[in-house]
Amino acid sequence: MKNEVQYAVEMDSITMIFNKTLIANDKIDFRVKKGEIHALVGENGAGKSTLMSILFGLYEPTQGEIKINGKMESISSPVKANQLGIGMVHQHFKLVDIYPVWMNIALGDEITKAKLFLDKNKIKAKITEIMEKYHLEVDLDAKIEDITVGMQQRTEILKILYRSADILVFDEPTAVLTPIEIKGLLDVMRKLQKDGKTIIFITHKMSEIQAVANSATVIRRGKKIETFDMSKTTIEKLAEAMVGRKLVEVKNNYTPCQDKVVLKIENLTMKKLSNHKVIGLENFSLDIHAGEIVAIAGVEGNGQQELVGAISGLEKVSQGTLFLNNEDITKASIKKRYQKYKINHIPEDRHKHGLVLENDIIQNMVLQNIDDPEFSRFGIMKKNAIQSYAQKIIAKFDVRGSQNGFAISRQLSGGNQQKAIVGRELSRDHNLIIIFQPTRGLDVGSIEFIHNEILKEKEKGKAVLLVSYELSEVMALADRIVILNGGKKIGEVPGKGAKREEIGLMMTGKGAT
């Protein structure tokens, strides 16, 4: 019939079973209308990325059928998906670190001279045109290993726009972006929609769904729950469908901290990670007390990475001094910081600094503690003790898809990898814990749980340094909020009674107190 609704994507009864036991998708029906922005939502490990990986040709479904623009298709590879006009921005980047940005964007779809030589100028001109059109500026000549996570995300987005895809799949595209970048990306999505593109948008952020999505399909534990018309539903109903219960707001009760200073930073200056000729953090001082959560607020790239690098030992201190319980740790090794001074660290980049991706989850749970008498003796690992310890963390932090810890870390969804790292670091004994973007890529239910666990650290009298680009997270958890801009401490405000507008103004370098 001529008036029949036209779908860009129809996935019927899609089932995906891994290793003959793990059911990632269970008879899912998923339909996306042409020209709409359709959110795909659910808890970590619900099967969202798996479903989209099937659409993109990375997996062949155990059963089910796919139609693209009304025609039955067998999508055997990403190459076939690209031929069908499907592009995907992956949750975990697919970039070559040692190649420059422009080469990563064009890789596999290069413009050549005489069918033999790369036409670098034409490639860069085409990318520049896209960057300017969608406000996705990035240094095309910089190597991937030298640019920020946010810039790497932009590179991934430019890859699919460069290939002129009509059906765009965004898998957690805003998880690594700053608030300003997120707003820019949502504007890009609206512009793409006006250009006639169809967008499938995997996200855990309710505000983003509310801002741009026409429809939203909820998946829970591999099964489709419901598809909502976003003009006729509420965010509360959507969140409840995701987790199967009503959520409770988590908030700091602001009980006074102890007099004891756990971490003391005096006049810290650090070189910028991306360019050691430039100062990234300048003359920064801070005290954190026992039983206190101090949050660092600021737009990404304003000294947060340099600060965390200095405290964790990942970066060499240029100038200044660090004290942990009155002991100078400025030149202490990473091992000594972990074991003697008991500094724990939930890193910003879970792949680079959080996990050994080729090892199973059980091994990753004892990375820093493997030589403890509890876990080894005379260099021989106590496998039963390690397994028991790891599985307690896995159960408590609901790390799904881990197969009781025997799954290889790389196989888990990003959110479940994050829960494993958070669980490991919160479970280890510590005096100070550095928490950098703890809920990146987590669903609303997991965020509620992790926030509660962080607040328990305060109750236990632990010192907590929280670095987050999520202002709502900072305001919910912090006793004190320190604002960074241009690598300098602009000011600080008490967490209690903090105003979003005031903090936002200070983040731009204005309104210092």
Are both 395 and 442 inside the same structural domain?
no
Residue 406 has pLDDT above 90, yes or no: yes
Are both 439 and 418 inside the same structural domain?
no
219, 243, 267 - which closes a domain: 243
**Mean pLDDT for the stretch of residues 131-148:** 88
Are both 205 and 319 inside the same structural domain?
no
**Mean pLDDT for the stretch of residues 99-117:** 87
Are both 19 and 97 inside the same structural domain?
yes
Q: What is the mean pLDDT of the chain?
A: 91
What's at 56, amino acid-wise? F
Q: Tell me the percentage of the chain whose pLDDT exceeds 90.
A: 65
Between CA 418 and CA 438 the distance in angstroms is 8
- Please report how the helices 149-162 and 179-194 are oriented relative to each other, as an axis angle in degrees rounded to 10: 10
Q: Copy the structure tokens of residue 430.
A: 């510590």
| Full residue range of the structural domain in which residue 169 is found | 7-243
* 252: in domain: no
**Mean pLDDT for the stretch of residues 29-42:** 96
**What does the pLDDT read at residue 154?**
85
Neighbours of 434 (CB within 10 A): 22
HEC readout, 332-351: CCHHHHHHCCCEEEECCCHH
Residue 512 has pLDDT above 70, yes or no: no
**What does the pLDDT read at residue 388?**
96
Which has more pLDDT, 177 or 321? 321
330, burial (CB in 10 Å: exposed 0-12, middle 13-18, buried 19+): middle
Give the predicted TM-score (pTM) of the model. Answer: 0.77
Q: How confident is the model at residue 299 (pLDDT cuts 50, 70, 90)?
A: confident
Lowest mean pLDDT among 104-113, 279-288, 355-364: 104-113
| Closest alpha carbon to 26 in 53, 51, 1, 52 | 51
DSSP state of 108: T
**Mean pLDDT for the stretch of residues 346-362:** 93
Greatest alpha-carbon span in the chain: 78
Asked whether 466 and 435 are in contact (CB, 8 A), the reply is yes
**What does the pLDDT read at residue 178?**
66
| Closest alpha carbon to 317 in 276, 269, 285 | 269
Are both 329 and 359 inside the same structural domain?
no
* 168: in domain: yes
Between CA 3 and CA 16 the distance in angstroms is 33
Q: How confident is the model at residue 343 (pLDDT cuts 50, 70, 90)?
A: very high
Q: How confident is the model at residue 5 (pLDDT cuts 50, 70, 90)?
A: low
Are both 205 and 57 inside the same structural domain?
yes
For the stretch 141-188, pLDDT in tens is 999 988 877 788 889 889 988 988 899 999 988 876 767 778 888 988
Beta pairing class for 376-377 and 319-324: unpaired
388, 413, 428 - which closes a domain: 428
* 78: in domain: yes
Residues β-bridged to residue 269: 319
Number of domains observed in the structure of the chain: 3
37's CB contacts (< 8 A; 6+ apart) are 189, 193, 199, 201, 212, 213, 214, 215
Q: Copy the structure tokens of residue 98.
A: 């040692």
Residue 384 has pLDDT above 60, yes or no: yes
Are both 387 and 399 inside the same structural domain?
yes
Which has more pLDDT, 47 or 184? 47
CATH number reported for the structural domain that contains residue 279 in this entry = 3.40.50.300
Taking the mean position of all CA atoms in its chain, how far away is CA 19?
Answer: 27
DSSP state of 411: G
**What does the pLDDT read at residue 513?**
46
Are both 154 and 94 inside the same structural domain?
yes
What's at 219, amino acid-wise? I
Q: How confident is the model at residue 273 (pLDDT cuts 50, 70, 90)?
A: confident
Lowest mean pLDDT among 7-11, 139-143, 377-381: 377-381
Are both 456 and 418 inside the same structural domain?
no
**What does the pLDDT read at residue 60?**
94
CA dihedral 345, 347, 353, 357 (to 10 degrees): 110
Are both 135 and 181 inside the same structural domain?
yes
* 226: in domain: yes
Q: Using DSSP, how many helices (H) and how many strands (E) does the chain show?
A: 16, 24
Residues β-bridged to residue 279: 271
In degrees rounded to 5, what are phi and psi of residue 464?
-125, 125
* 176: in domain: yes
What size, in residues, is the chain? 513
**What does the pLDDT read at residue 109?**
82
CA dihedral over 268, 272, 277, 282, signed as positive or negative: negative
Which has more pLDDT, 109 or 288? 288
For the stretch 458-468, pLDDT in tens is 999 999 999 99
For the stretch 213-242, pLDDT in tens is 999 999 998 999 999 999 999 988 998 898
Q: How confident is the model at residue 4 (pLDDT cuts 50, 70, 90)?
A: low
**What does the pLDDT read at residue 176?**
66
Residue 331 has pLDDT above 60, yes or no: yes
For the stretch 421-472, pLDDT in tens is 999 999 999 999 999 999 887 888 888 999 999 999 999 999 999 999 888 8
Between CA 68 and CA 41 the distance in angstroms is 21
Neighbours of 1 (CB within 10 A): 4
* 292: in domain: yes
Between CA 83 and CA 66 the distance in angstroms is 15
Between CA 316 and CA 369 the distance in angstroms is 24
Residue 1 has pLDDT above 70, yes or no: no
Asked whether 308 and 434 are in contact (CB, 8 A), the reply is yes
What's at 490, amino acid-wise? I
Are both 308 and 360 inside the same structural domain?
no
What's at 226, amino acid-wise? E
For the stretch 8-28, pLDDT in tens is 999 999 999 988 888 999 999
Q: What are the residue ranges of helices labelled H in 410-498?
A: 414-427, 444-459, 471-477
* 2: in domain: no
Q: How confident is the model at residue 383 (pLDDT cuts 50, 70, 90)?
A: very high
Q: Look up tokens 């307690």; give the residue.
A: 392
404, 428, 452 - which closes a domain: 428
* 404: in domain: yes
Between CA 185 and CA 177 the distance in angstroms is 9
Between CA 130 and CA 149 the distance in angstroms is 20
Q: Tell me the percentage of the chain whose pLDDT exceeds 70.
A: 97
End-to-end Cα distance, the chain: 66
One DSSP character per residue, 133-163 reads HHT----TTSBGGGS-HHHHHHHHHHHHHHT
Between CA 64 and CA 10 the distance in angstroms is 10
Are both 213 and 75 inside the same structural domain?
yes
